[in-house]
Chains A and B, each alone.
Chain A
Amino acid sequence: MRVVIAEDLALLRDGLIRLLQAFEFEVVEAVDNGPSLVRALASHRPDVAVVDVRLPPTFTDEGLKAALEARKENPGLPVLVLSQHVEQLYARELLSDSSGGIGYLLKDRVSDVGQFVEAVRRVAGGGTALDPDVVAQLLTRHSREEPLQALTAREREVLGLMAEGRSNAAIAAALFVTEKAISKHTNNIFGKLGLPPSEDDNRRVLAVLAYLGG
Chain B
Amino acid sequence: MDDREIATRDGSGRGGFADRLGEIGRRGLLSLVRGLIQAVLALGVTLPLTIVTALSIAFIPLGVGIVLAPVFLTALRGVANQQRIWAEEWFGVRIPVPYRARPEKMGPFRRLGWLVSDPATWRDLLWCLLNVPLGFGLGLAAVVVLVYGLEGVFVAPWLAGVTDYGWGPFWMIGDYGVFGIVGTVVLAAALTVVSVPIASGLLRGHALFSQSLLAPTRTALTERVEHLAETRSDAVDVSAAELRRIERDLHDGAQARLVALSMNIGLAEEMMKHDPETAQKLLAEARSASGEALTELRGLVRGIHPPVLAERGLDGAVQALALSLPLPIDVRTDIPGRLQAPVESAAYFAVAEILANVVKHSQAQRAWIQAEHAGGRLQVIVGDDGIGGADPANGSGMRGIERRLAAFDGTMAVTSPQGGPTVVTMELPCALSSPKTLPSSGTA
A interface residues (Cβ-Cβ under 8 A, vs B): 34-35, 37-39, 42, 53-54, 57-62, 65-66, 69, 84-85, 87-90, 92, 108, 111-112, 137, 140-144
Contact = CB atoms under 8 A, between A and B. Distances in A.
B323 A88 contact: yes
Contact of A34 (B302, B306, B319, B438): B438
Contact of A85 (B308, B316, B323, B441): B308
A62 B438 contact: yes
A92 B320 CA distance: 10
B312 A61 contact: yes
A144 B440 contact: no
Interface residues of B, number: 29
Contacts of B436: 58, 60
Nearest to B323: A88
Contacts of A140: 326
Interface string B81-103: 00000000000000000000000
B308 A57 contact: no
A85 B238 CA distance: 26
Contacts of A58: 436, 438-439
Interface of B: 287, 290-291, 294-295, 298, 301-302, 306-308, 310-312, 316, 319-320, 323-327, 436, 438-441, 443-444
Contact of B302 (A62, A85, A90, A92): A85
A57 B312 contact: no
A143 B320 contact: no
A66 to B, nearest CB: 6
A140 B295 CA distance: 18
B326 A34 contact: no
Minimum-distance CB pairs A-B, first 5:
A89-B320, A34-B440, A38-B444, A60-B311, A88-B323
Contacts of B326: 140-144
A111 B291 contact: yes
A89 B440 contact: no
A81 B307 CA distance: 16
B345 to A, nearest CB: 15
A35 B308 contact: no
B287 A57 contact: no
A211 B312 CA distance: 26
Given A88-B320, A89-B319, A65 B325 contact: no
